[in-house]
Amino acid sequence: MKTLIIYYSYGGNSALVAEELKKAADADVLELKTEDEKVRTGFAKYAWGGKQVFTHKYPELKPYTVTIEDYDRIIIGGPVWAGTPAPALQSFIAKTKISGKKIGIFLCHAGGKGKAMDKFKALLPGNTIAGEIDFVNPAKLDRAAVSLRIADWVGSL
Ligand SMILES: Cc1cc2nc3c(=O)[nH]c(=O)nc-3n(C[C@H](O)[C@H](O)[C@H](O)COP(=O)(O)O)c2cc1C
Protein backbone atom coordinates (compact mmCIF):
# COMPACT_ATOMS: atom_id res chain seq x y z
CA MET A 1 0.00 0.00 0.00
CA LYS A 2 1.41 3.37 -1.01
CA THR A 3 0.93 6.14 1.53
CA LEU A 4 1.14 9.92 1.25
CA ILE A 5 1.32 12.21 4.25
CA ILE A 6 0.00 15.72 3.60
CA TYR A 7 0.39 18.33 6.30
CA TYR A 8 0.45 21.99 7.16
CA SER A 9 2.21 23.33 10.23
CA TYR A 10 2.57 26.91 11.36
CA GLY A 11 4.40 26.36 14.63
CA GLY A 12 6.12 22.97 14.23
CA ASN A 13 3.75 20.68 16.13
CA SER A 14 2.16 19.12 13.07
CA ALA A 15 5.59 18.95 11.41
CA LEU A 16 6.79 16.83 14.32
CA VAL A 17 3.79 14.52 13.94
CA ALA A 18 4.42 14.26 10.18
CA GLU A 19 8.04 13.34 10.81
CA GLU A 20 7.04 10.54 13.19
CA LEU A 21 4.34 9.40 10.79
CA LYS A 22 6.88 9.16 7.99
CA LYS A 23 9.04 6.90 10.15
CA ALA A 24 6.07 4.71 11.05
CA ALA A 25 4.36 4.56 7.67
CA ASP A 26 7.22 4.57 5.15
CA ALA A 27 5.36 7.25 3.22
CA ASP A 28 5.94 10.12 0.84
CA VAL A 29 5.39 13.53 2.39
CA LEU A 30 3.87 16.72 1.03
CA GLU A 31 4.23 19.78 3.21
CA LEU A 32 1.79 22.56 2.39
CA LYS A 33 3.22 26.04 2.59
CA THR A 34 1.35 29.28 2.17
CA GLU A 35 2.57 32.14 0.00
CA ASP A 36 2.36 34.40 3.06
CA GLU A 37 4.74 32.69 5.45
CA LYS A 38 5.41 35.71 7.68
CA VAL A 39 6.04 34.73 11.29
CA ARG A 40 3.50 36.24 13.64
CA THR A 41 3.28 35.95 17.37
CA GLY A 42 0.80 36.62 20.15
CA PHE A 43 -2.43 38.41 19.35
CA ALA A 44 -1.38 39.22 15.75
CA LYS A 45 -1.09 35.50 15.02
CA TYR A 46 -4.57 34.70 16.30
CA ALA A 47 -6.12 37.74 14.65
CA TRP A 48 -4.54 36.88 11.29
CA GLY A 49 -5.45 33.20 11.45
CA GLY A 50 -8.88 33.77 12.93
CA LYS A 51 -9.73 36.24 10.15
CA GLN A 52 -9.00 33.59 7.51
CA VAL A 53 -11.34 31.18 9.27
CA PHE A 54 -14.19 33.60 9.81
CA THR A 55 -14.05 35.23 6.36
CA HIS A 56 -13.49 31.86 4.60
CA LYS A 57 -10.61 33.50 2.71
CA TYR A 58 -8.31 30.57 2.44
CA PRO A 59 -4.63 31.30 1.72
CA GLU A 60 -2.78 30.74 -1.53
CA LEU A 61 -0.45 27.77 -1.30
CA LYS A 62 3.08 27.71 -2.63
CA PRO A 63 3.22 25.56 -5.78
CA TYR A 64 3.43 21.81 -5.22
CA THR A 65 3.21 18.72 -7.34
CA VAL A 66 1.33 15.68 -6.25
CA THR A 67 -0.41 12.82 -8.03
CA ILE A 68 -3.08 11.67 -5.63
CA GLU A 69 -3.95 8.71 -7.90
CA ASP A 70 -0.55 7.19 -7.10
CA TYR A 71 -1.57 6.58 -3.48
CA ASP A 72 -3.94 4.15 -1.77
CA ARG A 73 -3.73 5.72 1.66
CA ILE A 74 -3.56 9.38 2.58
CA ILE A 75 -2.72 10.70 6.01
CA ILE A 76 -3.60 14.37 6.25
CA GLY A 77 -3.40 16.78 9.12
CA GLY A 78 -2.35 20.00 10.75
CA PRO A 79 -3.40 22.45 13.43
CA VAL A 80 -6.83 23.44 14.65
CA TRP A 81 -7.51 27.11 14.06
CA ALA A 82 -10.60 28.59 15.66
CA GLY A 83 -12.25 25.20 15.93
CA THR A 84 -11.62 24.19 12.30
CA PRO A 85 -8.80 22.51 10.37
CA ALA A 86 -6.30 25.28 9.52
CA PRO A 87 -7.33 27.21 6.38
CA ALA A 88 -4.26 26.04 4.43
CA LEU A 89 -5.59 22.48 4.64
CA GLN A 90 -8.91 23.69 3.31
CA SER A 91 -7.15 25.49 0.42
CA PHE A 92 -5.53 22.20 -0.52
CA ILE A 93 -8.68 20.10 -0.27
CA ALA A 94 -10.64 22.64 -2.31
CA LYS A 95 -8.11 22.38 -5.18
CA THR A 96 -7.27 18.68 -5.10
CA LYS A 97 -9.65 15.87 -5.85
CA ILE A 98 -9.34 13.22 -3.18
CA SER A 99 -11.82 10.36 -3.43
CA GLY A 100 -11.92 6.61 -3.02
CA LYS A 101 -8.95 6.71 -0.63
CA LYS A 102 -8.30 5.26 2.76
CA ILE A 103 -7.76 8.30 4.95
CA GLY A 104 -6.13 8.92 8.31
CA ILE A 105 -6.64 12.34 9.84
CA PHE A 106 -4.52 14.01 12.50
CA LEU A 107 -4.97 17.29 14.29
CA CYS A 108 -2.82 19.28 16.68
CA HIS A 109 -4.41 21.77 19.04
CA ALA A 110 -4.01 23.45 22.38
CA GLY A 111 -6.75 21.52 24.15
CA GLY A 112 -9.82 22.93 22.40
CA LYS A 113 -10.35 21.04 19.18
CA GLY A 114 -14.12 21.62 19.26
CA LYS A 115 -15.75 20.08 16.22
CA ALA A 116 -12.62 20.36 14.06
CA MET A 117 -12.38 16.61 13.48
CA ASP A 118 -15.98 16.36 12.29
CA LYS A 119 -15.42 19.39 10.05
CA PHE A 120 -12.28 17.78 8.62
CA LYS A 121 -14.11 14.54 7.85
CA ALA A 122 -16.93 16.49 6.18
CA LEU A 123 -14.35 18.00 3.78
CA LEU A 124 -13.42 14.55 2.51
CA PRO A 125 -16.61 12.87 1.30
CA GLY A 126 -16.31 9.76 -0.87
CA ASN A 127 -13.36 8.40 1.09
CA THR A 128 -13.04 5.86 3.87
CA ILE A 129 -11.94 7.49 7.10
CA ALA A 130 -9.82 4.69 8.52
CA GLY A 131 -8.68 6.52 11.62
CA GLU A 132 -8.32 9.83 13.41
CA ILE A 133 -5.97 11.05 16.09
CA ASP A 134 -5.25 14.33 17.81
CA PHE A 135 -2.45 15.75 19.91
CA VAL A 136 -2.29 18.60 22.39
CA ASN A 137 0.77 20.64 21.33
CA PRO A 138 2.93 17.53 20.80
CA ALA A 139 6.17 19.54 20.57
CA LYS A 140 5.80 20.03 24.32
CA LEU A 141 5.25 16.32 25.02
CA ASP A 142 7.70 13.47 25.51
CA ARG A 143 8.91 12.66 22.01
CA ALA A 144 9.26 8.92 22.61
CA ALA A 145 5.69 8.71 23.87
CA VAL A 146 4.39 10.63 20.86
CA SER A 147 6.38 8.39 18.55
CA LEU A 148 4.95 5.25 20.14
CA ARG A 149 1.40 6.54 19.96
CA ILE A 150 1.84 7.38 16.29
CA ALA A 151 3.35 4.00 15.45
CA ASP A 152 0.38 2.28 17.13
CA TRP A 153 -2.08 4.45 15.27
CA VAL A 154 -0.46 3.89 11.88
CA GLY A 155 -0.58 0.15 12.56
CA SER A 156 -4.32 0.40 13.11
CA LEU A 157 -5.07 2.23 9.85
C1 LIG B 1 -4.82 31.28 14.44
C2 LIG B 1 -4.78 30.17 15.46
C3 LIG B 1 -5.98 29.67 15.96
C4 LIG B 1 -5.96 28.63 16.89
N5 LIG B 1 -7.16 28.11 17.32
C6 LIG B 1 -7.16 27.07 18.20
C7 LIG B 1 -8.40 26.49 18.66
O8 LIG B 1 -9.50 26.86 18.25
N9 LIG B 1 -8.32 25.47 19.57
C10 LIG B 1 -7.12 25.00 20.05
O11 LIG B 1 -7.13 24.10 20.88
N12 LIG B 1 -5.94 25.52 19.60
C13 LIG B 1 -5.93 26.52 18.69
N14 LIG B 1 -4.74 27.03 18.24
C15 LIG B 1 -3.48 26.41 18.70
C16 LIG B 1 -2.92 25.40 17.70
O17 LIG B 1 -3.94 24.59 17.13
C18 LIG B 1 -1.93 24.45 18.39
O19 LIG B 1 -0.94 25.18 19.06
C20 LIG B 1 -1.27 23.48 17.39
O21 LIG B 1 -0.54 22.50 18.12
C22 LIG B 1 -0.34 24.20 16.44
O23 LIG B 1 0.12 23.34 15.45
P24 LIG B 1 1.36 23.75 14.52
O25 LIG B 1 2.51 24.01 15.46
O26 LIG B 1 1.60 22.57 13.63
O27 LIG B 1 0.98 24.98 13.75
C28 LIG B 1 -4.73 28.07 17.32
C29 LIG B 1 -3.54 28.59 16.81
C30 LIG B 1 -3.56 29.62 15.89
C31 LIG B 1 -2.27 30.15 15.33
Structure confidence at residue 38 (pLDDT): 86
Residue 59 alpha carbon to ligand 1 centre in Å? 16
Ligand 1 atom nearest to CA at 136: 21
In whole angstroms, what is the distance from residue 52 CA to residue 74 CA?
25
| Kind and range of the H or E run holding 15 | helix 13-25
Among 9, 13, 40, 80, say which to mutate for ligand 1: greatest number of ligand atoms within 8 Å of CB.
80
Structure confidence at residue 49 (pLDDT): 93
In whole angstroms, what is the distance from residue 79 CA to residue 102 CA?
21
In whole angstroms, what is the distance from residue 7 CA to residue 92 CA?
10
157 residues of the chain, pLDDT tens digit each: 899 999 999 999 999 999 999 999 999 999 999 998 888 999 999 999 999 999 999 999 999 999 999 999 999 999 999 999 999 999 999 999 999 999 999 999 999 999 999 999 999 999 999 999 999 999 999 999 999 999 999 999 9
Pocket of ligand 1, beta carbon within 6 A: 9-14, 45-46, 49-50, 78-83, 108-113, 137
What pTM did the predictor assign?
0.97
In whole angstroms, what is the distance from residue 90 CA to residue 112 CA?
19
DSSP line for 74-85: EEEEEEEETTEE
